[in-house]
Amino acid sequence: MELSKNFEPGPIEEKWYQHWLQKEYFKSTPDHREAYTIVMPPPNVTGVLHMGHCLNNTIQDVLIRNARMHGKNACWVPGTDHASIATEAKVVAMLRERGIAKSSLSREEFLAYAWEWKEKYGGIILQQLKKLGCSLDWDRTSFTMDKDYYDSVIKVFIDLHQKGMIYRGKRMVNWDPVSQTALSDEEVIFKEVDSKLYYVQYQLAEDPSKHITVATTRPETILGDVAICVNPADERFENWVGKEVIVPLINRKIKVIADEYVEADFGTGALKITPAHDKNDHLIGTKHHLPIIDTLDATGKFTSVDLMPEQPSAQVLSYNGMDRFALRKKIVEDIEAIGKLEKTESYKGQVGTSERTGAVIESRLSMQWFMNMQLFMQKKPQTLSSVMQDEIQFHPAKTKNTYSHWMENIKDWCISRQLWWGQRIPAWYDAEGKCVVAANEASAKEAYKKEFGSEIQTLRQDEDCLDTWFSSWLWPMEVFKGISQPNNAEINYYYPTTTLVTGQDIIFFWVARMIMAGYEYKNDLPFKDVYFTGMVRDKQGRKMSKQLGNSPDLLGLIEQYGADATRFGIMIAAPAGNDLLFDESALEQGRNFNNKMWNALKLIKMWEGKQAPSSSTDNQFALDWFEQRLQQVKSEVQELMQQYRLSEALKTIYSLIWDDFCSWYLEWVKPGFEQPIDPAVYQQTISFYTELLQLLHPFMPFITEEIYHLLDKRSEDLCVRQAQTAQATKPAILEKGLLLKNAITGIRDVRNRQQIKPKETISLHIQTAQSDLYQSIESILGKQINSSSIQYADHSVANTFTTVIGKDTFYIESLQPINATQQKEELVKELNHLKGFLQSVEKKLSNEKFVQNAKPEVLALEQKKQSDALAKIQVIEDSLASIG
């Protein structure tokens, strides 16, 4: 069989993925084994794969494949999220392009378009995950708007409403005037913007010659002013509190009030209070029983509806329908025209924007549905305590702080959204606005009768739908039908799931709420471990974004480097919870690693037809040593996997394959040119390589499966091959391996420094007290340093290069002329280093307090350091003396 020069990933990936699917390796059904369950954080149904998904899903696949190879019943559930805001925004944009306005459509018509869109683009992302090699149980693919899922969300809403944890109320919400919906605090992004601070004068009602100046960034809300507030301790305004001032343009008389909320240092120390348009103003307004005057409509345009009782002037009425930003300009002009604008300053302020539409958020009073979080937390304190007491383990642990801080300051969750794409709120109203909550119209009518005592003919259902997170918080349960069919066999087997892998940015949106739902509906935690990934950033540490164009095309990368190399590149640089700085050179490293393994395969295949038994035991040490290294690394890797230190586990395997296996082991057992290999060594090498492939498989599934099958005839696939537990190691062999490596490296260093040509052989003389140790590794040593002979000496050898390794001295005989001065310099340098080291050790040992206080093993170690250093100094001094 002819193997290509380099590894070619493309066709192999397709071949193996289809094979695994056909063998149903990814399929899971409950059985006697322990379940290892991961539910995939469902991506937006119309989303495309980006670097964040790549990181996230590669990690999950590594965990799932590792579990599958360790006797677990591995179940990884795929799915998508209907993502109400994002998807509806996309559909609205699509319709707009076709010249259709959402407002011209009925709810049913709009939803028909939305489903059409979902069928067309939904699930592309799941297909892309196959390219990455993700071993998902595709038969379990779920969608948060599947029939059962939808009904479960409604069921939960009704249930929580009955339990008194969901209520309806007028609240200050973050209003997005573009998508005309309320947003949760978490969906609002604060941005620093350059704005202006306008200094506006309010005349004193009783004496128009006096005025108070207010600094505001939002003059367009001035017509909604109901008070001026100052700090009670502010002496400047002592005489003003309780008096009336006049709001410019509208000439409304309002009171000056005092509240500690106002900071005397900011602006002029006087704050205008507009309860309809600012959260804090609303708080103060409520506290001081002030009226609320709303001057902006749902689209952010001026409306005089609330002003009508005051009979506004023609000027004020002319503002009607003006957009908030145009209005700001106009009002500033008009205030200036009446001489009430004192000055304007530029100001850097924070402004909230919508995560989805980018629009500047308005604080707005509106009727919304809320979940009472304080009440919930009183009922299910486990939501917090399970995390703090590590029943649910967060990785990295520092994320616990973030979690507890949020949970302890939890605010009510606004769960209604002014959207159509999503679960429609099961609330029904009569003409007067009286409300009942029920699953459908018929039961709503029944409920109405029960509650209000009269029959009703027509009820109108709430137009709004539920926050997306109000459906995804049920994800770990409802993918197993845990809500729609409680206590079915699957939910009881797979739940609690084992591990959740997700981004830190949705710890509150999603992780916290799944924990809540878990305790409420299953009385159990939803997962045992949470692995938080960081954000994927570019090389310069910038967030990846469409605007910056720094987000690489993932499928292009897979095409270019292969899925395995892509997985390698992202995993090698991804410590838990830290941001990942994506650098394409890591993928190159992954591709090079593929080639390295491919070439190791080629070497071993060359031996296939060239074998002859040998009586020589020259290779015995290489076999013994690599066996030990393998066992050692195997247990290290399992340890690291258990601690979720995946990138370190990969690094460890990488170095075992590249350095220990390829650079040391294969070179040690490689026969000379045209020489046959011993069949036992050949077989052992295949067995070693097989184990290495098995270790690496979770990280790089395609190439490992391919090489595994090329290496030998196999009756099973690597994908489901069960791992053997690591055996205890023999330290003596590992130590001897270290000695051998050090000797080889040390002598090669001398060859390099002395410019001894690679092809030129040398003669080696070893002066050592442990010559029997060297004899068993002599043939490997000789081969690796290209020596023609190795002898043992009990004294220095003239006309040689001298180097000291460990406690042994090596004399290297070659054709190169000897430079005694240079040799001396090098030895002296080494000697000085050792003497410095010895000094620091002796300083410790001569310290009485150290000797008294240090643990015995620490003391013994220091004493060993001392004697070792002394012995080595002696050896170097002898060598120096012999050079003369």
CB of 658 to RNA, least distance (A): 6
CB of 3 to RNA, least distance (A): 9
Which residue, 210 or 844, has its beta carbon nearer to RNA? 844
Which residue, 478 or 691, has its beta carbon nearer to RNA? 691
Using CA atoms, how far apart are residues 478 and 472, in angstroms rounded to an integer?
9
Which residue, 156 or 780, has its beta carbon nearer to RNA? 780
Percent helix / strand / coil, the chain, rounded to 5: 50, 20, 35
Task: Give the residue carrying structure tokens 């070497």.
Answer: 603
CB of 685 to RNA, least distance (A): 11
Q: Please, where are the H alpha helices in 617-673?
A: 620-642, 646-655, 667-669
CA distances from 196 to 66, 200, 224, 270, 634 (A): 58, 12, 20, 17, 63
CB of 405 to RNA, least distance (A): 5
Using CA atoms, how far apart are residues 136 and 490, in angstroms rounded to an integer?
17
Which residue, 389 or 454, has its beta carbon nearer to RNA? 389
Supply the DSSP symbol for 422. S
Which residue, 249 or 601, has its beta carbon nearer to RNA? 601
Task: Give the residue carrying structure tokens 């005051």.
Answer: 310
Using CA atoms, how far apart are residues 526 and 523, in angstroms rounded to an integer?
9
Dihedral sign for Cα atoms in the order 243, 247, 250, 251: positive
Q: Max alpha carbon distance in the chain (Å)?
A: 116
Pairing state between β 808-813 and 787-792: unpaired
Q: Please, where are the H alpha helices in 453-583?
A: 469-472, 475-478, 489-494, 513-521, 554-561, 563-571
CB of 830 to RNA, least distance (A): 10
Collapsing DSSP states into helix, strand and coil, what is residue 42?
Answer: coil
Closest CA to 157 of 520, 418, 509: 520
The answer for residues whose C-beta is within 8 angstroms of residue 211's C-beta and 6 or more apart is 201, 202, 203, 204, 245
- Residue 809: which H helix or E strand, with range? strand 808-813
Which residue, 455 or 848, has its beta carbon nearer to RNA? 848
Which residue, 493 or 658, has its beta carbon nearer to RNA? 658
CB of 418 to RNA, least distance (A): 20
Using CA atoms, how far apart are residues 766 and 795, in angstroms rounded to an integer?
9
CB of 590 to RNA, least distance (A): 10
Which residue, 461 or 687, has its beta carbon nearer to RNA? 687
Using CA atoms, how far apart are residues 878 and 391, in angstroms rounded to an integer?
62
CB of 242 to RNA, least distance (A): 28
CA triple 461-463-466, angle to 5 deg: 105
Closest CA to 741 of 837, 826, 733, 637: 733
CB of 664 to RNA, least distance (A): 7
Which residue, 411 or 795, has its beta carbon nearer to RNA? 411
Supply the DSSP symbol for 180. T
Collapsing DSSP states into helix, strand and coil, what is residue 77?
Answer: strand
Using CA atoms, how far apart are residues 708 and 614, in angstroms rounded to an integer?
27
**Separation of CA 199 from chain center:** 46
| Contact indicator for 74, 720 with CB cutoff of 8 Å | no
CB of 871 to RNA, least distance (A): 10
CA triple 142-478-68, angle to 5 deg: 70
Which residue, 521 or 810, has its beta carbon nearer to RNA? 810
Which residue, 238 or 390, has its beta carbon nearer to RNA? 390
Which residue, 588 or 717, has its beta carbon nearer to RNA? 588
Which residue, 663 or 882, has its beta carbon nearer to RNA? 663
CB of 467 to RNA, least distance (A): 15
CB of 317 to RNA, least distance (A): 33
Which residue, 204 or 662, has its beta carbon nearer to RNA? 662
Using CA atoms, how far apart are residues 687 and 588, in angstroms rounded to an integer?
28
Which residue, 415 or 666, has its beta carbon nearer to RNA? 666
| Contact indicator for 562, 13 with CB cutoff of 8 Å | yes
Which residue, 579 or 624, has its beta carbon nearer to RNA? 579
CB of 375 to RNA, least distance (A): 19
Half-sphere exposure of 9 (CA within 13 A, CB side): 26
Backbone angles phi, psi at 96, to 5 degrees: -60, -40
Q: What is the dihedral of CA 829, 830, 832, 834, to 10 degrees?
A: 170
Which residue, 78 or 746, has its beta carbon nearer to RNA? 746
CB of 714 to RNA, least distance (A): 21
CB of 363 to RNA, least distance (A): 10
CB of 123 to RNA, least distance (A): 29
The answer for residues whose C-beta is within 8 angstroms of residue 754's C-beta and 6 or more apart is 801, 812, 814, 816
Task: Give the residue carrying structure tokens 């990368």.
Answer: 557
Q: What is the DSSP string of 299-350?
A: TSBB--GGGGGG---HHHHTTTT-BHHHHHHHHHHHHHHTT-EEEEEEEEEE
CB of 261 to RNA, least distance (A): 10
Using CA atoms, how far apart are residues 787 and 783, in angstroms rounded to an integer?
7
CB of 103 to RNA, least distance (A): 31
Which residue, 236 or 864, has its beta carbon nearer to RNA? 864
